[in-house]
C-alpha cells in the first residue's frame, strides 16, 4: 500500500491509525502538495453490507458539512473493490491523549474546547446529522490548537432513509462511556443525545475521569440509565458552580431536561465563564429556544422575528467566545509545559525527561566532585513555566575540577560581546531568561554567578537578557491585509491561530481578536496571536462520487 497512488493524485506515505471499521493512511496530494488522510474500509468488512453502509454514510454525512471545527471531506474514492474517502489531515493529538497527559484541564480551557465541539455539532445538526459517537478519541487538537470533530461513521441523517439494520433493531450505537441513556436503551439518538455526550466529555476534561465506569459495558450502560453522576465540584472543588450546573444539565437522564440545541449549551458555557460565582441551579432558565424536533404552536410574525433575532444574537456571541478561546487553547494546552527535575540524573535520563516535556536541550560540561555524566545544574528550576520548544541548559559533571577562573562583570554588555568575553577566559554563556526592559534588546541585565566568583574552567555563566520594548498596535476590526506588510517588518512575530466563519462578506478578512491587546507593552520577538474572520463556505455535496462507493 505504501507508495501507491490513488486516482492518479493521492500517494500513500504511511499508516497512521486504525479503528474498529477503518484503517487510516497519511497521503500526499500530488496536485497541491498538501498532506491528507485516506480512510479505507478494513478488508474484513468489504463484503459486509452493514459496514459498507456505515462507510458510505460517513461519506454522505461529511459531504453535507463544511466547518472549521469538523474534519472535512476532500474526496471520495470510486473504487468499489477498495472503498476509501479522503479527509483533511490533522497533525496533532486526540483530546483523549491530552487528558491522559495532563490528568485534567483548567476550567476555562475545558469550556472553550467544549464550545468548539458544540460549534461543530450545531453545524452538523443544522445539516440534519446526528453524530452519535462524540468522545475525546474523536476530537482532534492540531499543533496550532484547532479543534476538529472527526469520525461520523455511525452518524444518523435526520429525515433521510439511511437507517441501518442496527438502527431498526434498536441496537446500541456509540461508545459506552459517552453515549446517552436513550442510546443505552437502544432508542433512536437525537440532537439531545449528542449534547449529553458533549457533557460527558466536558465532565472528563474537568475531572480527569468519566462520570460512569465499571467492569463491563452492560454495567456502565445501566449507570447511564439509572445512576446520578458525582457532582463535578465534589471531585474538583475549584470548578465554579456555574460550570458545574451546565455539565449536570447536559447529563440529565431525560432529554427534555437537557439543552435543546448545541448553540444554547455553548451560550450557557459562555455565561458560566463570565459569571462563575453565580449560583445556577438545574432549574435556572438559560434560554427559551424551541427545540427543532418538536412541533411549535403557531406564532405571529413579530414573535417569530424576535426569536430569529435572538438566535442571530446568540450566534454572534458564540463567534466572539470562539475567537477569544482559540488563543487560550494554543497557550494553555498546546504550547505550555514546565521544566522537569533533572539534578543528579544520568545525562541520558535527563535528556529523555527534557524531550518528554516538549523542550529542547543544550549540554555544557563542567568539572565537579560528582561522577562524570551526572547533572549538576539546570538553567530553569523544576516546575518553571515554559513554552514547548524552549531550550533548557543541562550542566553535566566532567569529573574532578581542574583550574578555576574569576567570573567577569558582564551586566550592561550586549550578549554577543559578553559571549566573547566569557569565551576568552574559557567560560561559557547561557541565556536563561529574556525580559521586557527599556534597555536595548540583547543587553545583559543580570548574571549568575556574580562578578569575581571562582568558577571551574569550562563552567557556565547564566544571564538574563533585555528583550527590549514594543507597543502592540490596534488591529481588532481592521482588515488584516492592510497591516500585513507593516507587521512582517516589525519586531513582532505574527501567528494566525484560528479563523472564524461569518456570513457577512464585509467582515471577511478582518481581525476578530488579538492577543496581546492594543497598547500592551511587550518585548521584541513576542508572538502576536490573531483570529481572523473568513467567509463561511456553503455545504459541499458530492452525489455522484458518493454513489460510487
DSSP-derived 3-state class of residue 522: strand
Q: Are 367 and 456 in contact (CB under 8 A)?
A: yes
The distance from CA 366 to its chain's CA centroid, rounded to whole angstroms, is 41
Q: Which three cell numbers stand for residue 168?
A: 431498526
Is-catalytic flag, 133?
yes
DSSP-derived 3-state class of residue 168: helix
Please list, in sequence order, all residues whose beta carbon lies within 8 angstroms of the beta carbon of residue 224, skipping any fewer than 6 positions away: 179, 180, 181, 184, 212
Q: Are 257 and 282 in contact (CB under 8 A)?
A: yes
List of E strands, 418-526: 428-435, 444-448, 454-456, 460-466, 470-471, 493-502, 511-515, 521-522
| Rg value, the chain, Cα | 28
Please list, in sequence order, all residues whose beta carbon lies within 8 angstroms of the beta carbon of residue 301, skipping any fewer than 6 positions away: none
Nearest to 135 by CA among 210, 206, 64, 186: 210
Q: Are 115 and 269 in contact (CB under 8 A)?
A: yes
Q: Which of 29, 81, 133, 194 is catalytic?
A: 133
Q: Which three cell numbers stand for residue 358?
A: 516538549
Please list, in sequence order, all residues whose beta carbon lies within 8 angstroms of the beta carbon of residue 251, skipping any fewer than 6 positions away: 196, 199, 200, 203, 211, 229, 258
- The whole-angstrom separation of Cα 240 and Cα 333 is 20
Q: Are 511 and 480 in contact (CB under 8 A)?
A: yes
Examine residue 449 and say whether the peptide bond preceding it is cis (omega within 30 degrees of 0).
Answer: yes
Burial of 530 (0-12, 13-18, 19+ CB in 10 A): buried
DSSP-derived 3-state class of residue 149: strand
Report strand pairing: 129-130 vs 147-149.
unpaired
Q: Which three cell numbers stand for residue 351?
A: 535528556
State residue 2 phi and psi, 5-degree precision.
-60, 130
- The whole-angstrom separation of Cα 272 and Cα 242 is 5
Active-site residues: which are they? 133
Amino acid at each position: 500500500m505504501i507508495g501507491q497512488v490513488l486516482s492518479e493524485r493521492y500517494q500513500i506515505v504511511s499508516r497512521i491509525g486504525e479503528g474498529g471499521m477503518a484503517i487510516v493512511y497519511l497521503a500526499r496530494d500530488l496536485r497541491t502538495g498538501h498532506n491528507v488522510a485516506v480512510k479505507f474500509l478494513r478488508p474484513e468488512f468489504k463484503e459486509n453490507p452493514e459496514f459498507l453502509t456505515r462507510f458510505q454514510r460517513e461519506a454522505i454525512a461529511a459531504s453535507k458539512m463544511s466547518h472549521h471545527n469538523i474534519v472535512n471531506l476532500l474526496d471520495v474514492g470510486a473504487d468499489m473493490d477498495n472503498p476509501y474517502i479522503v479527509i483533511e489531515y490533522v497533525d496533532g493529538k486526540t483530546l483523549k491523549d491530552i487528558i491522559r497527559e495532563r490528568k485534567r484541564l483548567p476550567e476555562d480551557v475545558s469550556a472553550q474546547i467544549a464550545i468548539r465541539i458544540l460549534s461543530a455539532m450545531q453545524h452538523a445538526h443544522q445539516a440534519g446529522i446526528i453524530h452519535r459517537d462524540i468522545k475525546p478519541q474523536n476530537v482532534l487538537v492540531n499543533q496550532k490548537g484547532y479543534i476538529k470533530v472527526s469520525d461520523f461513521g455511525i452518524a444518523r441523517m435526520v429525515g433521510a432513509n439511511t437507517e441501518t439494520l442496527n438502527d431498526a433493531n434498536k441496537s446500541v450505537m456509540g461508545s459506552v462511556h459517552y453515549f446517552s441513556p436513550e442510546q443505552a436503551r437502544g432508542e433512536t439518538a437525537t440532537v439531545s443525545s449528542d449534547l449529553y455526550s458533549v457533557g460527558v466529555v466536558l465532565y472528563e476534561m474537568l475531572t480527569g475521569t468519566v462520570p460512569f465506569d465499571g467492569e463491563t459495558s452492560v454495567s456502565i450502560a445501566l449507570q447511564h440509565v439509572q445512576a446520578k453522576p458525582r457532582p463535578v465540584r465534589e471531585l474538583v472543588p475549584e470548578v465554579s458552580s456555574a460550570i458545574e450546573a451546565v455539565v449536570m444539565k447536559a447529563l440529565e437522564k431525560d432529554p427534555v431536561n437537557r439543552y435543546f440545541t448545541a448553540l444554547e449549551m455553548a451560550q450557557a458555557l459562555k455565561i458560566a465563564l463570565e459569571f462563575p460565582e453565580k449560583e445556577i441551579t438545574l432549574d435556572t432558565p438559560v434560554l427559551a429556544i424551541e427545540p427543532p424536533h418538536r412541533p411549535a404552536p403557531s406564532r405571529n410574525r413579530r414573535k417569530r422575528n424576535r426569536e430569529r433575532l435572538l438566535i442571530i444574537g446568540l450566534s454572534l456571541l458564540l463567534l466572539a467566545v470562539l475567537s477569544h478561546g482559540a488563543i487560550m487553547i494554543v497557550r494553555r494546552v498546546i504550547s505550555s509545559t514546565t521544566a522537569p527535575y533533572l539534578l543528579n540524573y544520568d545525562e541520558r535520563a535527563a535528556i529523555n525527561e527534557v524531550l518528554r516535556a516538549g523542550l529542547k536541550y543544550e549540554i555544557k560540561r563542567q568539572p565537579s566532585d560528582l561522577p562524570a555524566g551526572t547533572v549538576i545544574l539546570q538553567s530553569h528550576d523544576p516546575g518553571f513555566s515554559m513554552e514547548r520548544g524552549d531550550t533548557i541548559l543541562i550542566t553535566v559533571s566532567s569529573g574532578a575540577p581542574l583550574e578555576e577562573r574569576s567570573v567577569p562583570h558582564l551586566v550592561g554588555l550586549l550578549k554577543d560581546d559578553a559571549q566573547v568575553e566569557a569565551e576568552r577566559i574559557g567560560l561559557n554563556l547561557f541565556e536563561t531568561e529574556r525580559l521586557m526592559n527599556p534597555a536595548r534588546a540583547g543587553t545583559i541585565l543580570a548574571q549568575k554567578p556574580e562578578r569575581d566568583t571562582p568558577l571551574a574552567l569550562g563552567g557556565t555563566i547564566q544571564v538574563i537578557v533585555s528583550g527590549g520594548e514594543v507597543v502592540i498596535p490596534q488591529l481588532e476590526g481592521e482588515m488584516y491585509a492592510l497591516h500585513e506588510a507593516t507587521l512582517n517588518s516589525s519586531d513582532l512575530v505574527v501567528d494566525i491561530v484560528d479563523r472564524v466563519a461569518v456570513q457577512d462578506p464585509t467582515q471577511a478578512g478582518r481581525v476578530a481578536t488579538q492577543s496581546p491587546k492594543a497598547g500592551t507593552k511587550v518585548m521584541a520577538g513576542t508572538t502576536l496571536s490573531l483570529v481572523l474572520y473568513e467567509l463561511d463556505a456553503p455545504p459541499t455535496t458530492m452525489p455522484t462520487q458518493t454513489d460510487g462507493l
